[in-house]
Structure 1
């Protein structure tokens, strides 16, 4: 992980706590963000969470404000991690697309808890990465003292994102089932 105190002491990290209404009153974050970005010569920014903005505006205004904020961050040359919190039961693949804002960002990564055999695990999937043929498989991840550790893709399960996971049929099992079906069909012919 990061030593936040050390980064703060070296003037390489700033934490800005604000509310959506203050951010919105502030010309899309221009004033509240510009000064700290300039002071520490920031190259990256994390905004947690953009979903709170939805409480203060209608759909069209939300799109407009998010566009303004994203363009501000791009104009300043910042790598941005923008977090959007979804209901755990929602279809993660459609949440941003349904709001009409997925086109604004270059990459969409979804983190979601999944239950497999009465154990909750953390799943990660990259839905979109503009200009890249990215890995589209669902992977397990863990947050450790060394950071985020991404594991091999989930295997032998399907339907993990639906909330109703089930074991997938292996190729051998599928072949055995097909042969048994064919033999049964021949018997009754």
Structure 2
């Protein structure tokens, strides 16, 4: 495998595979994708190499699956970046869906990328339904706005 050769030649300590979608395109079989990603991930773990796999989903907003090929069970952590519409504005959201062995933050937070860098803001506590693509004000927020 070419990835193994390059990793060994340069003595990589960190690797980014951008993305699993390319395996899907080349192999065109979810079982083969799972096998290849599993073998590659196991190899990189055995060499103590920190690895990030990206996976693009086709849905811009709304509900989507993390991976139809089963590769999500291989990963120790899954971080979801997505777009959400809030009050007719497109915003970026970040959430940790899985972090093996950790009681991680389960909030959906705003992600801002600007000249200062990347900022993870406060949770979208005023809204529910962000992951479904249909955010609505929480009942408490709607009540407060109606009577304030």
TM range (shorter): 0.7 to 0.9
Equivalent in 74, 82, 107 of residue 53 of structure 2 = 82
What value does the CA root-mean-square deviation take over the aligned residues?
2.3
Matched, 1:91 2:51: no
Alpha-carbon separation, structure 2, partners of 1:66 and 1:34: 13
Rate the CA distance shift 1:157–1:132 in 2: closer, same or farther, 3 A.
same
Q: CA deviation at 1:173?
A: 3.0
Q: 1:82 to 1:137 in 2, by over 3 A?
A: same
Per the alignment, residue 122 of structure 1 pairs with 92
Equivalent residue in structure 2 for 1:158, among 103, 121, 128:
128
Aligned position for 1:11: none
Higher strand proportion (structure 1 or 2): 2
Q: Say which structure is richer in helix.
A: 1
CA 144–172 in structure 1, closer or farther in 2 if over 3 Å, else same: closer
The structure 2 residue matched to 1:134, chosen from 104, 107, 110, is 104
SS at match of 1:170: helix
Moved over 6 A (4+): none
- Considering Cα pairs closer than 8 Å and 6+ residues apart, tell me whether 1 or 2 has the greater RCO: 2
Give per-residue Cα distances to partners, 1:52-85, cap 9 Å, x unaligned.
2112321211111111111121122110110000
Unaligned runs of 5+ in 1: 1-29, 178-189
Q: Distance in 2 between matches of 1:35 and 1:58?
A: 25
Contact 2:62-2:131 at 8 Å conserved across structures: no
* 1:47 paired residue among 3, 8, 17: 17
